[in-house]
Amino acid sequence: MKSYADARETVCRYVSDRGLRRHMQAVSAAMRFYAERLGANPEEWATMGLLHDFDWEIHPGLDEHPMKGALILRAEGWDEETIRVILSHYTEGTGVERAKPVDFALLACDEITGLIIAATLVKPSRDIAETSVASIRKKWKDRRFAAGVDREHVAEVTADFSRVCFDGGLELWGHIENVLTAMQGAAAELELDGRLAVADAHD
């Protein structure tokens, strides 16, 4: 089976947009967090999280993504389980149903990272250490903020994840706090450690 390092190499080849890379790295960090909580393989889950949108830049539409991306991964020797998990995060287009904990985790971690990143980037510090659940709650209520984040979808897939993996015991805001914690632990990789504010000050 290919490794996390292989996934990073794939992302570097196919993704030039820093925002898209940040999103995938954020999902990867959240997936690693939950794998550790659920007794799964953190490296495998982090790898799937990192790869899940690798083809979005070349296939920027749900008529092609992630189906054509799966063909690329298969041709490059990725294992069928990794490909299956990635296909399961868009069941409507791929027909691949979520069936395993990793599938539910990926979809639950996917879209919410966008809101957390956006809530961090509007801070003068651009430092995710200063982002709190309370500040994300405020942004959640403002539907104009990060309008592309479908709040109802986030709540729905979180509830599914909770039911499958936590016997219904994971609440929406507990999940969001977990994802935030995971992303704070990966602040340097995400470039959300204040460096962007410093770069802006020098421009």
Cβ contacts of 159 within 8 Å, gap of 6 or more: 172
Q: What pLDDT, on the 0 to 100 scale, is given for residue 198? A: 72
Q: What pLDDT, on the 0 to 100 scale, is given for residue 82? A: 97
Q: What are 27-81's pLDDT values in tens digits?
A: 999 999 999 999 999 999 999 999 999 999 999 999 999 999 999 999 999 999 9
**Angle in degrees, CA 61, 118, 83, rounded to 5:** 40
Q: What pLDDT, on the 0 to 100 scale, is given for residue 201? A: 57
Query: In the structure, what pLDDT confidence band is assigned to residue 197 with cuts at 50, 70 and 90?
Result: confident
Number of other residues whose CB lies within 10 A of the CB of residue 33: 23
Range of the domain at 172: 4-202
Total count of residues recorded for the chain: 203
Q: Would residue 90 be called left, alpha or beta, if left means φ above 0 and alpha means ψ between -120 and 50 degrees?
A: beta
Q: What pLDDT, on the 0 to 100 scale, is given for residue 85? A: 98
Question: Helix (H, G, I), strand (E, B), or coil: what is residue 3?
Answer: coil
Q: What pLDDT, on the 0 to 100 scale, is given for residue 202? A: 56
> CA-to-CA distance for 96 and 118, rounded, in angstroms?
30
Q: What is the mean pLDDT of residues 145-156?
A: 97
> CA-to-CA distance for 16 and 99, rounded, in angstroms?
32
- Does pLDDT of 203 surpass 90? no
Q: What is the average pLDDT score of the chain?
A: 96
Q: What pLDDT, on the 0 to 100 scale, is given for residue 1? A: 74
Share of the chain above pLDDT 90, in %: 95
Q: What pLDDT, on the 0 to 100 scale, is given for residue 199? A: 65
Structural domains counted in the chain? 1
Contacts by residues 9-16 (CB-CB < 8 Å, ≥ 24 positions apart)? 10/51, 10/54, 10/73, 10/76, 11/50, 11/51, 11/54, 14/54, 14/55, 14/57, 14/58, 14/72, 15/54, 15/56, 15/57, 16/57
Q: What are 123-142's pLDDT values in tens digits?
A: 999 999 999 999 999 999 99
Q: SS3 string of 54-119?
A: CCCCCCCCCCCCCHHHHHHHHHCCCCHHHHHHHHHCCHHHHCCCCCCHHHHHHHHHHCHHHHHHHH
